[in-house]
Structure 1
Amino acid sequence: MGLVGPGFIAAHHLDAVRRLGDVEIVGIAGSSLDSATRRARELNAGKAYANYRDLLADPAVHVVHNTTPNYLHREVSLAALRAGKHVISDKPLAASVQEARELYEAARDANLGHVVTFNYRGYPLVQQARAMIAKGDIGQSVFVHGCYLQDWLTDERAYTWRLDPKLGGASSALGDIGSHWCDLAEHVTGARITAVLADLQTVVPQREGADGTRHDITSEDLASVLLRFDNGVRGCVTVGQVLPGHKNDLRLEVNGRDGSLAWRQEQPNELWIGHHAKANAVLTRDPSLLDPSARAYAHLPAGHPEAWADAFRNVIADAYTWIRSGAKPDTKPDALPTFAHGYRNSLLVDAMLTSHAAGGVWQTVDDPLEPTRTTRTRG
């Protein structure tokens, strides 16, 4: 593998690949040869390339991990596909719906592996919740709700390229973290969001950069969205990045006619099971108690916590399992998110922005050209 964009998340891609034990890290490309050389040395990541084109030209690189800023996702991923490389891209798939569709179609036509790192799918208890819902353990679902709350943008002196529409895209909170929640909700329930009604807010309308420059902010840092799913289920989600005390607070709850399930990312080794006429329960992550489809994602015995890096590793492991099998649609692990899911996610965020811009009205969500549901479980 080769990596393009050696920023914060790059180290976690490299860590996940190393943990697989059978993938060679050939090298990394950055914004310049000097920066790439420095990061390659810091990360012990092989050789440095002056730019991503040089990396793509190396026949030793079979898989490209795209961890560049959002505005470069389309350019780098498209070039990699055209060079015959499998691609593992950070989310969002691209900076706009149009670019996301272009990448989705290019990946579909290229017959290459194409993965978007919606990494919360990799938690064992997320897969357990999905299996329980599919088997009817909570009966017919009626309500899906939750949140993704952070506080890293609370201070008005916090400024990042993610808040610049030219670099991060039109959306901030929804595109950055709301996208994770929506993907998780659809994956766990097996249903699709068909309509949204969004109320967005910019709590901090002006921010100060590191150089003292003032920046007017046009993207949302707080959002509330009502949801409708294709199976008749209703839902809602709150997303915010200016909420003190919330570090990475992703929560998902699904209520059915016979029971409820709730999972929280900051307590990932527990799945809450709610009942009406008997005591509620908590399922602690224990491989011996998990559904077979979830068991393969738990690597330690009960009582040994597994967390974010382990879930990330699980998604990367699925990616390489698929690539080794030829990256055909019928061999894809069921939990693995592809460019089709990335494109669909872009459609969801775009529909939310459109709903808010229209004054808070229901907006129908378009669907990709092909289904994103898959048929094979991991293992």
Structure 2
Amino acid sequence: METIKVGIIGTGFSAGFHTESLRRLPDVEVVAVAGSSLEKAEQMAKQYGIPRYYGDHHELIGQPDIEVIHNCTPNNLHYDINVTAMLAGKHLLSEKPLGMDSKQSAKLAELAEKCDVVSGVCFNYRHFPMVMQARGMVQSGKYGAPHLVMGSYLQDWLLYETDYSWRLDPELNGDSRAIADIGSHWCDTVQFVLGQRIIRVFADLHTVHPVRQKPLEHGATFGGDAGEEGSEEVEVSTEDCGSVLVHFEGGSRGVFTVSQVSAGRKNKLQFEISTRETTLYWDQENPNKLWEGHRNQANNELLRDPSLLSSKAAALAHFPGGHEEGWPDGMKNLLIDFYSEVKRRKGLKIPGKPQFANLNDGHRIMKVIDAVLESNAKQCWIDII
């Protein structure tokens, strides 16, 4: 089989880890990058040894040899680029969110049904081995139906009022920040494990720093404070943190908290699911363990060892037990899954079914985000239809 040629659109943090992860796949090659300027694209091309670079994403998408587009741009550009890529017949893996609101994501999900391309959203946490193990255990029915779900996604990179990123600008990021940026990951992961969608929410969101210091020179995500360049005061309307009560379609109740202002928490996505017979707990910062709680016997921890896991979970564990895997490996698993489907479209017989989030999944998450914002504004329960 010929190497699948890929174009990356974007030059920031997401574009970098997509590029590095793609290099772990032997039959995929990043051949081009496009940025908001030719200079940024050239800089990234030199950094990663990418042969071609463009200052206009339309030019990249128009290249006939490029089969797959990775959309790693700021949120306000996702919709237009995703539409352009699919209409051009390119397979698409988009960073979330699909658009700025659920109206845009609805159009993208509809377009994906009409276009003969593989399209997915980069919800990478469902591709961790112990998340897949938890999914199999919960959905087996062996332990009884889940009745309570708790969790959080906590970070500290926006703790100080001097911390600033383009994600604080609703014109670029959207009307939600913490919920849309990290809460969306929690929702997708838990829905995947349960096999149940969130159907109702009650939200309480909070902006800790309504005024922040914006650097006079642009900084990237996780870029830090203003430094020596100086800054200006800007008002912030999006949430720094918040909690959401949720109902799932299977009857489970739950609550999750998101924060980008929790000191010492770097990337702590965690969930705890209680069923009739057990409680399962997983923490992304300690991803190789799945805790099992019991009432009438000793609690235990299941380790990420392929010989101890279900077949589906073991397929995501690439090294023997004791050889620790982590965040970059979850991304690798997502890409293996996505590109296996691309190969199936090319006629290759590859076993299994795709597990990655498709555009319908991405649209559903956008509806959850919109409902959370509406609930916070009205201080009431909002149904997600």
TM-score class, shorter = over 0.9
- Cα pair 1:26 1:60 within 8 Å, conserved: no
State yes or no: 1:357 paired with 2:362: no
Amino acid of the structure 2 residue aligned with 1:236: V
Alignment correspondent of 1:370: none
- Using the alignment, how far apart are the partners of 1:103 and 1:30 within structure 2? 22
1:189-228 paired onto structure 2 within 5 Å? 189-211=194-216, 212-228=231-247
Query: Matched residues in 2 for 1:105 and 1:46: separation?
Result: 34
In 2, Cα distance between equivalents of 1:34 and 1:350: 36
Cα separation, 2, equivalents of 1:117 and 1:304: 25
The yes-or-no answer on 1:29 pairing with 2:34 is: yes
Percent identity, please: 42
- The residue matched to 1:322 in structure 2 has which SS? helix
Per-residue Cα deviation, 1:2-53 (whole angstroms, up to 9, x for no partner): 0000111112111221111101211101112222112101111221112111
Whether 1:323 and 2:342 are equivalent positions in the alignment is yes
2:285 to 266, 269, 273: 266
Aligned match of 2:57: 52
After TM superposition, the structure 1 = structure 2 runs for residues 35-114 of structure 1, keeping only pairs within 5 Å, are: 35-114=40-119
Matched letter for residue 171 of structure 1:
S
Distance in 2 between residues matched to 1:111 and 1:340, nearest whole Å: 15
Give the C-alpha shift of residue 332 in structure 1. Answer: 7.7
| 1:137 Cα deviation from its structure 2 partner | 3.4
Letter in 2 for 1:190: G
Higher mean C-alpha displacement, 331-340 vs 191-200: 331-340
3-state SS in 2 of match to 1:9: helix
Q: Deviations over 1:83-142 (max 9, x none)?
A: 110000111111111111111111111021111010001100000000011112321111
Q: Is the 8 A contact 2:22 2:335 kept in 1?
A: yes
Correspondent of 1:345 among 365, 368, 382? 365
CA distance in 1, matches of 2:358, 2:50: 25
TM-score (ref. length: structure 2): 0.92
- Structure 1 segments of 4 or more deviating over 6 A? none
2:187 is aligned, of 182, 191, 213, to 182
Answer with 309-318 or 158-167: which moved more: 158-167
| 3-state SS of paired residue (1:26) | strand
Asked if 1 retains the 8 angstrom alpha-carbon contact of 2:341 and 2:354, the reply is no
Secondary structure at 2:269's aligned position in 1? strand
Q: Is the 8 A contact 1:127 1:188 kept in 2?
A: yes
Tell me the distance in 2 between the aligned counterparts of 1:261 and 1:46: 46
Letter in 1 for 2:311: P
Offset at residue 218 of structure 1 (A): 0.7
Confirm or deny that 1:144 pairs with 2:163.
no
Q: Which moved more, 1:2-11 or 1:169-178?
A: 2-11
| SS, match of residue 6 in structure 1 | coil
CA shift for structure 1 position 223: 0.8
Q: Which residues of structure 1 form unaligned runs of 5+?
A: 367-379
In structure 2, relative to structure 1, the CA distance for the partners of 1:225 and 1:241 (3 Å cut) is same
Contact 2:338 2:354 in 1 (8 A): no
Q: In the TM superposition, what are the counterparts of 1:134-173 in structure 2 within 5 Å?
A: 134-173=139-178
The code of the aligned residue for 2:139 comes to A
Secondary structure of 1:298's aligned partner = coil
Contact 1:112–1:327 (Cα < 8 Å) also in 2: no
What CA RMSD, in Å, does the superposition of the two structures yield over aligned residues? Answer: 1.4
2:15 corresponds, among 10, 34, 37, to: 10
Post-superposition offset of 1:286? 0.3
- d(CA) in 2 for partners of 1:7, 1:199: 31
Tell me the distance in 1 between the aligned counterparts of 2:109 and 2:196: 21
| Alpha carbons of structure 1 residues 331 and 197: separation in structure 2 relative to 1, 3 Å | farther
* Local SS of the residue matching 1:223: strand
The answer to whether 1:281 aligns with 2:300 is yes
> How many residues are aligned here?
364
Distance 1:287 1:331, change over 3 A: closer
Alpha-carbon distance, 1:331 to partner: 8.5
Q: Which moved more, 1:170-179 or 1:101-110?
A: 101-110
Q: Distance in 2 between matches of 1:72 and 1:47?
A: 21
Instruction: Look up the match of 2:256.
Output: 237
In structure 2, relative to structure 1, the CA distance for the partners of 1:335 and 1:317 (3 Å cut) is same
Q: Per-residue deviation at 1:333?
A: 3.1
Q: Distance in 2 between matches of 1:85 and 1:357?
A: 39
Query: 3-state DSSP class of the match of 1:184?
Result: helix
Secondary structure of 2:262's counterpart equals coil
- Measure how far apart 1:272 and its partner are: 0.1
In 2, are the aligned partners of 1:156 and 1:208 still within 8 Å (CA)? Answer: yes
- Give the TM-score taking structure 1 as reference length: 0.94
Structure 2 letter corresponding to 1:44: G
**Structure 1 CA distance, aligned partners of 2:241 and 2:180?**
12
Tell me, what secondary structure is at the counterpart of 1:271? strand
